[in-house]
Structure 1
Amino acid sequence: MAGAGSVAQRRQVKAPPGGGQRPPGRRLLPRSRILPALLLVAAVGLAGFGAWALYGSQWLRIEKVSVSWEPESRRELTGDQVLSVAAVPLGAPMASLDKEAIEARLLAELPRLKSVRVVRAWPHGVGLKLTEREPQAQLPAPGGYAEVDDEGVRFAEIAEPLPSVPLLELDMEDSPSARRFGEERTLRDAVAVASALPGPLAGETSVIRIVSYDAITLELSDDRTVRWGSPEDSPAKAEALTILMKAAPDARHFDVSVPSAPAASGG
């Protein structure tokens, strides 16, 4: 009887899985976990394929670079100059394009540029969109003249003066305001005066002379002069001067230092 019991026990141990017991060491995933696992495998596969497509394949490579100027922007630089400095890596993956580095390089090496935008034009293009600085005034410089924009930035030197762009002449050595305000601030303020002049009046202004912060004079064509005073209220002064010149076309001297009470004389 003991032997028969031993045989029965062995038969129970070796019973097939269909008999209700699963052999130890073999566990199946529950159905609720199979789908997430498959989705994870698919996601990893797609991510790997995407990375290969962006960086390893030849599908999305830089093949051409275009240069354009923003509307109404002055254009002095050439496309070849810009492309040479930008040094966009042709043949490199589009995804690896370092837009910030290209923008910084262009602004550092081409100070005539006021702003730069680098854009991807998928699948193979890169666009460089530029805005150049506009000269609002010019300063005497060792090599000729320095162009100055509306922010007071000296961005380029030219051999000959620009027509229809006022020349700034600073004569502040003996002025107390030179110590109080400093030459750079006074220069920015003088450029603000030039920027406030409407087009026709700016074209008639040959020199903006700064003796002190509150003693700015405009020298116009035909030996006419304008006492401007300080750079404060420049838009109001420009408007007052425009009206005054129409009302007294033969006058030689104008005073808009107090824009609410402009005056004209001579003629």
Structure 2
Amino acid sequence: MAGPTTAERGERQHLDSGPPRPPLLKRLPKPRTLVIVLVCLTLLGAGGVWVFYGSQWLRVERVTASGTRVLTPAQVVEAADVPVGSPLISVDTDVIEARLRRKLPRIDSVDVVRSWPHGIGLKVTERTPVLIAEKGGKFVEVDAKGVRYATVSRAPKGVPALELDVSPSAGLRRFGTGRLVREAVRVAGSLPAAVARDTRIVKVRSYDSISLELSGDRTVAWGSGEKGRAKARTLTALMKAAPEARHFDVSVPTAPASAGS
């Protein structure tokens, strides 16, 4: 007996498969459920805002300062002028940092941090003098960036004096006093540790003529602030090779010189 034809088999498969089934639809939450969720989220948000801004729980009650050396913590706290009693989250830390640097130039950097739940911390880094310039019987401190930031009545120990012996010239008009001071600072920062301890004066006559006066009536012709590392290595070797010398010239580090008197 013959089997079903190809046409019959195709028709049977079509009948067995039936009409296409509609895709399953995701069940959406009921409108009432959505309203309840939105109300809850709104209440939570309003409660959070009230906790941070309206309640008495998270307000500034104390301000502390740390990291001071010459300044006192009380000076820093007073200059910061943090609004005690205000919400801790509303304190503008950037404004306080700018205010401190403006009122207290001795501060190089400051980090204002919130100390939850009631504190503000002022972490201060003071400038350190690398040179001191005499002016009117007092002394102006100069830091490693060339910033003249404070005037004191007594020179700090161990800090070399800066002498600007610059005549009005095209070089002074070109570089300016500020640039020459920064070059002197650059030289002071390049000195070998042993030489730095013995340096009494850094004298600037021009951009290319910077010299040192050391203890024991010794002098060093340094030249410009360029090639500081090479000059430092050369000076160290020169002093070891000629320990009795009193005058050293490393302005050209590849052709140094020394003299006994």
Report the TM-score range of the alignment, normalised by the length of the smaller protein: 0.7 to 0.9
Question: Contact 1:175 / 1:211 at 8 angstroms: preserved in 2?
Answer: no
In structure 1, the partner of 2:62 is 64
CA gap of 1:31–1:224, structure 2 versus 1, over 3 A, is closer
Q: Distance in 2 between matches of 1:57 and 1:143?
A: 55
4+ long deviations beyond 4 Å: none
Q: Which amino acid aligns with 1:79?
A: P
Decide which of 21, 40, 46 is 1:42's aligned counterpart.
40
Q: Is the 8 A contact 1:205 1:219 kept in 2?
A: yes
Q: Which residue of the partner structure matches residue 256 of structure 2?
A: 262
Q: Percent identity?
A: 51
| Contact 1:143-1:157 within 8 A present in 2 as well | no
2:209 is the alignment partner of 1:215: yes
Residue in structure 2 matching 1:240, options 234, 248, 252: 234
Equivalent of residue 108 in structure 1, options 102, 116, 132: 102
TM-score by length of 1: 0.83
Listed as ranges, the gaps of 5+ residues in structure 2 are 1-27
Verify: 1:155 aligned to 2:153, yes or no.
Answer: no
* TM-superposition CA deviations, 1:175-202 (whole Å, max 9, x none): 4311222221111111111122233322
1:200 paired residue among 194, 205, 223: 194
Q: Distance in 1 between matches of 2:250 and 2:36?
A: 80
**Matching of residue 55 in structure 1 with residue 53 in structure 2:** yes
Which SS does the other structure have where 1:60 is aligned? Answer: coil
**Mean alpha-carbon deviation: is it higher for 162-171 or for 144-153?**
162-171
Q: Which residue of 1 aligns with 2:85?
A: 91
Structure 1 portions without partners, runs of 5+: 1-29
Q: Which moved more, 1:178-187 or 1:151-160?
A: 178-187
Q: Please list the CA deviations of residues 208-255 of structure 1 after superposition, one character each: whole Å capped at 9, or x if unmatched.
A: 111111111111111100010111112221222122222222110111
Q: 3-state SS of the aligned residue for 2:216?
A: helix
Task: Give the deviation of 1:168 after TM superposition.
Answer: 1.1
Preserved contact between residue 165 and residue 202 of structure 1 (Cα < 8 Å): no
**Structure 2: how far apart are the matches of 1:51 and 1:174?**
64
Amino acid of the residue matched to residue 41 of structure 2? A
Please, which moves more after superposition, 141-150 or 115-124? 141-150
CA contact (8 A) 1:164 1:202 kept: no
Task: Return the letter of the residue paired with 1:58.
Answer: Q
- For 1:32, the equivalent position in structure 2 comes to 30
Partner of 1:4: none
Please state how far the C-alpha of 1:31 moved relative to its aligned partner. Answer: 4.5
- Superposition TM-score, scaled by structure 2 size: 0.84
8 Å Cα contact 1:63/1:91 also seen in 2: yes
Aligned-pair distance for 1:62?
1.4
State how far apart, in whole Å, the 2-side matches of 1:40 and 1:262 are.
81
Distance 1:168 1:95 in 2: 46
Match of 2:135 among 138, 141, 149: 141
**Alignment match, 1:122:** 116
For the residues of structure 1 that align with 2:160 and 2:197, how far apart are their CA atoms?
8
Q: Which amino acid aligns with 1:38?
A: I
* CA drift at 1:54: 0.6
Q: Tell me, what secondary structure is at the counterpart of 2:149? A: strand
For residues 176-191 of structure 1, the aligned pairs below 5 Å read 176-191=170-185
Structure 2: distance between partners of 1:46 and 1:264: 79
- Following superposition, the deviation at residue 174 of structure 1 comes to 4.3
State the partner residue of 2:244: 250
SS of the residue 2:197 aligns to: helix
CA contact (8 A) 1:143 1:158 kept: no
Q: Give the CA RMSD over aligned residues.
A: 1.7
